Amino acid sequence: MSQGFNWSGLPSGDVVVDVGGGNGHISLAIAQKNPGLRVVVQDLEDTIKDSKIHWKANLPTHVESQMVDFQVHDFHTPQPVPNAAVFLLRHIVHNWSDERVVNILRHLRDAAQPTTKLVVIDRIPVSAGRVLDPGEDTIPGSTRPSAPAPLLPNWGVARPSVYYLDVTMHCMLGGVERTLEHFVEVFAKGGWKLVHVYHPEGSVNSHIVGVLAD
């Protein structure tokens, strides 16, 4: 998490909401490097119990100082936190159809402040064709180096995992691994504008950043 979205650029006291955060290990890593940030970990009841245990074991100072809150919440329902600087969704949106993702994003949009940012951490499949994906020429950070010819630009069978995962998400959950163009579309339908993409070196995941749409 040291690369990608600039968490250290957030002012001390800002609230990061880890939506569907599981045991909160990602927001915990963020808080370890940025101890001035307040964190809200949201998930279902049994998972939140595990989250409390995980944070007490790994970052007890944040628990003791009440800089982290553990909240039972279903992200398909209205978002209860009105003062978030960032809504973080890691490995969430690829589990769901466009309709369900748009619903999730709208709930976040309804609770957002004008300055709130949306950070989605997920994979972005790369095209096998030597053409820019729609948006790559206008969205900062979105372009990635292509494999040299005669290899396919997406490295072909050398990097098949995202395509296997795409099939898995579709067959098991009705979800999908989205291209950049697809992310732009669902962000817009959910009331957000995709403004930046980070591709942390050595990671298969991208940080996809949105702001409130006009």
Active site residues: 94
- Is residue 60 a contact partner of residue 91, using CB atoms and an 8 Å limit? no
Which amino acid, residue 155? W
Which amino acid, residue 197? V
- Is residue 66 a contact partner of residue 40, using CB atoms and an 8 Å limit? no
Give one DSSP letter per residue of 55-83, joined into a string.
HHHH-HHHHHTT-EEEEE--TTS----S-
Cα–Cα distance measured from residue 182 to residue 165, given in angstroms and rounded to the nearest whole number: 16
- Is residue 188 a contact partner of residue 101, using CB atoms and an 8 Å limit? no
Cα–Cα distance measured from residue 87 to residue 208, given in angstroms and rounded to the nearest whole number: 12
User: What pairing do the DSSP bridges indicate for beta strands 117-122 and 192-198?
Assistant: unpaired
Taken in order 74, 78, 83, 87, the sign of the CA dihedral is positive
